[in-house]
Amino acid sequence: MEAVIALHNVRKSYQDFHVLDIARLELPAGIYWLQGENGAGKTTCMKVMAGLIPFKGEIILQGNVSSHRQPVAFRRLINYAEAEPLYPSFLTGRDLLELYLGTKGGNRQQVMELGERLGVTGYMQNPVSTYSSGMLKKLSLLLAFTGNPLLILLDEPLITIDKQALAVLYDLIRAYSANGVSFCITSHQPLDQRELPVSGTLRVAAKNIALV
């Protein structure tokens, strides 16, 4: 089966500090748990996969969308939610959602319903500077589920959100996964296999990523 994402000779350095050196990694569709020690390179790997920071090498989605040759199409197919999201403080949640709907596409009605389920609707009209860390995290998760992504990267999605939002998040991951969307999730806490049917574990170590 065609890999959802394939990394070929991917190298990432911050100035002359080398963080990633991945000769080849090809992942079939699924839900992956990305593990590694603090500072191993998980967040860097996600930012590279999402096409958000420059890197050497090439990433191909579904065998035909290249990070270098089709950067816009590439970025539309991958969504990323940061571990500790930061947005310009004067923007409202609604401003950000409109921006995402405009650039990522997707069904407005469906996204609004999702916002309702996650419990963000009540504060969407307020500037993000007024949000608590959990409120910000829920907004970032809503944005990660906006559009028509092939792969969703969730960096520490379980931290700071309340029990109700957590149950919705697990539900969403399972439903999207059943519709063919793949996930790559970092979490220092164990993932509950009953809630999240993880298909594989990816380990970041010694600058490489391996499916273990």
Ligand X SMILES: Nc1ncnc2c1ncn2[C@@H]1O[C@H](COP(=O)(O)OP(=O)(O)OP(=O)(O)O)[C@@H](O)[C@H]1O
- Residue for token pair 């609004």: 112
Contact between 197 and ligand X (CB under 6 A)?
A: no
Tell me which stretch binds ligand X (CB under 6 A): 35-43, 66-74, 90-98, 168-176.
Answer: 35-43
- 14 near ligand X, judged by CB under 6 A: yes
Q: Rounded to an integer, what distance in angstroms lies between the CA atom of residue 19 and that of residue 43?
A: 11
Residue 39 or residue 71: which is nearer to ligand X going by CB? Answer: 39
Longest dimension (CA), the chain: 46
DSSP state of 206: T
What's the closest the beta carbon of residue 198 comes to ligand X, in angstroms? 18
Tokens matching residue 134: 């959990």
CB of 33 to ligand X, least distance (A): 13
> Is residue 38 involved in binding ligand X (CB under 6 A)?
yes
93 near ligand X, rule: CB under 6 A: no
Distances (CA, A) of 123 to 66, 87, 116, 118, 135: 38, 15, 11, 12, 8
Verify binding: residue 44, ligand X, rule CB under 6 A.
Answer: yes
Cβ proximity to ligand X, 14 vs 90, nearer residue: 14
Work out whether 109 is an interface residue with ligand X (CB under 6 A).
Answer: no
User: Which residues, 62 to 91, sit near ligand X by CB under 6 A?
Assistant: none
For residue 17, give the DSSP letter: E
Number of residues that bind ligand X (CB under 6 A): 11
Binds ligand X by CB under 6 A, chosen from 35, 43, 177, 187: 43
- Please report how close the Cβ of residue 148 comes to ligand X at its closest, in angstroms: 27
For residue 127, give the DSSP letter. Answer: B
In the chain, where do the E strands start and end?
5-14, 17-27, 31-35, 56-61, 65-66, 78-81, 151-155, 182-186, 200-205, 208-211
Residues near ligand X (CB under 6 A) are 14, 17, 19, 36, 38-44
